[in-house]
A = this chain, B = another copy of it.
Amino acid sequence: MRLKTKSLKLLAGRPVAILHKNTARKLSVYAGERINIKNNSQGMIAIVDIASGILKEDEIAVSVEILNFLKLSEGCKVDISIAPRPLSISYILEKLEGKELSYEQLFKIVKDIVNNALTEAEIAYFVSGIYVNGMTLTETAMLTKSMIEHGKKLDIKNVVDKHSIGGVAGNRTTPIIVSICSSTGLKMPKTSSRAITSAAGTADVMEVLAKVEFSTDEIKKIVQKTNACLVWGGALGLAPADDKIIQVEKLISVDPEAQLLASILAKKLAVNAKHVLIDIPYGKSAKVSTKKEALSLSRKFQQLAKFFKIHLKTVLTDGSEPIGNGIGPVLEAKDLIAVLTRDKDRPLDLEEKALKLSAIILEMTGKAKKGKGLSLAKEILESKKAYLKFKQIIRAQGGNLDKINSKLQPARFNYIIKSEKNSKVVHIDNKKIAKVARYAGCPADKSAGIYLNVHKGFKVKRNDVLATIYSETKEKLDFAINLFKKSKPIVLR
């Protein structure tokens, strides 16, 4: 069927085409189904919306994604046909029924996800299948492989990378570790994510100090200059299937282990990492809640690393409470600068963890002999070599630490939370603290967040300050205070 293009200037996030009710009926196509749109030689798959009144029977309205890809202009003719149901849908059904998928099947599923040939609902069936039935190690490896193959790569050699499984509020070790390790000559082009459900991702924190959105070419130049970078990985197209799957997982807050493993490894392999350290914090309110789970995850990472022939170590860390004092982009930036500049009020828990992870990286890459990593890391941090390296990275990313101080003020509206009794802090809940920080405006409001004055085990007297909530508006502050009072993230006994 040949139809006339009509532009609606709609960015739907995926290719959407709108057909007249009668045209859809003639084609036997229903809303949400797929059609092929062809313009001379080039074609693409689009999801159908159905309308009447806003277009004629011989017209098709297309979203900007289609307009740009097929280089269409208003009024030009395109050929429309029903797109055959992607074969990958039957593979997804097999997974839902508990069968093990082959490399070829996973390859096709990932390909169709990347090419927009699968809808979010179809991806949800795939996620359900993985969530309910799990994946064998081979399947997980093949899923990882497929994800890398359908994305871009960073061609820098001998890359060292680290990753934290997450779920621990304030845990901003990455910039410190990268500064320590790359100052020994290690290459650490670190790509990070923005916050999804937390108060801040490493990319959000770095954005307080410098630019974080770069092309792969720009990243290569920054790394040539400084050995490292601390940028946002989201727009680089590294394993893009993963981003789409995560978007669908988020809807129902599941994160099946096999997908988590594939997701992390695919991103590391896409930046060509040869040495990788995986930090697995565990604790009641962290992402991984028990030691058993953490050990199982660690074992699987090791097995997959063997398959992909990369040098990978895992480290199990304490995820039972937030790390550092600040939670929120500006507050976390202040924390990490305090550690790097040896400020007397620096958060020692954050420093200790950053040193521990740096030590492992220095030893696994041969920069320090076994048992000597920690003293080397300490020397680099204490001599401010790490701080100089950090300043250099920030400068290469268009920032300037010497002029940044004014930007590091927490938001003007604040509320101080005091202890109502003489007591002891027995628990600080990561998830609840993160939610309060989000209600206060994080991550979009950079200077919003929570500053913690206490950690687990601290003894407090009546009227001692427990924490301060910062917010850019009075409304958000009230909103956050209410949630704090209701959800009680800091438990005293």
CB atoms of A128 and B13 under 8 A apart: no
Tell me, yes or no, whether A100 is within 8 Å of chain B by CB: no
Report if A122-B444 is in contact (Cβ < 8 Å); known contacts: A12-B49, A13-B49, A129-B128: no
Q: Interface residues of A, CB < 8 Å — how many? A: 48
Tell me, yes or no, whether A119 is within 8 Å of chain B by CB: yes
Stretch of A149-157, A208-216, A250-258, A414-422 lying at the B interface: A250-258
- Which one, B32, B89, B438, contacts A28 given CB within 8 A? B438
A53 to B92, CA, bound (A): 37
Report if A125-B52 is in contact (Cβ < 8 Å); known contacts: A28-B438, A132-B132, A443-B28: no
9 A-B pairs within 8 Å (CB atoms) are namely A10-B10, A10-B18, A11-B51, A26-B444, A31-B247, A93-B254, A96-B131, A96-B254, A124-B125
- Which one, B8, B254, B444, contacts A10 given CB within 8 A? B8
CB atoms of A252 and B11 under 8 A apart: no
* 8 A Cβ contacts from A8-27 to B: 8-13, 18, 25-27
Tell me, yes or no, whether A57 is within 8 Å of chain B by CB: no
CB atoms of A11 and B52 under 8 A apart: yes
A18 to B127, CA, bound (A): 27
Which residues of A come within 8 Å of B, CB atoms?
8-13, 18, 25-28, 30-32, 49-54, 64, 89, 92-93, 96, 119-125, 127-129, 131-133, 247-248, 250-254, 438, 443-444
Additional pairs, 20, CB under 8 Å, beyond known A89-B252, A121-B121, A121-B123: A8-B10, A10-B18, A10-B51, A11-B49, A12-B49, A13-B49, A28-B438, A28-B444, A30-B247, A31-B247, A32-B251, A89-B253, A96-B128, A96-B132, A96-B252, A119-B120, A120-B121, A121-B251, A122-B251, A128-B132
CB atoms of B121 and A248 under 8 A apart: yes
List residues of chain B with CB within 8 A of the CB of A248.
121
A477 nearest CB across to chain B (Å): 16
Shortest Cβ distance from A16 into B: residue = B12
Shortest Cβ distance from A24 into B: residue = B444
A333 to B210, CA, bound (A): 72
CB atoms of A444 and B25 under 8 A apart: yes
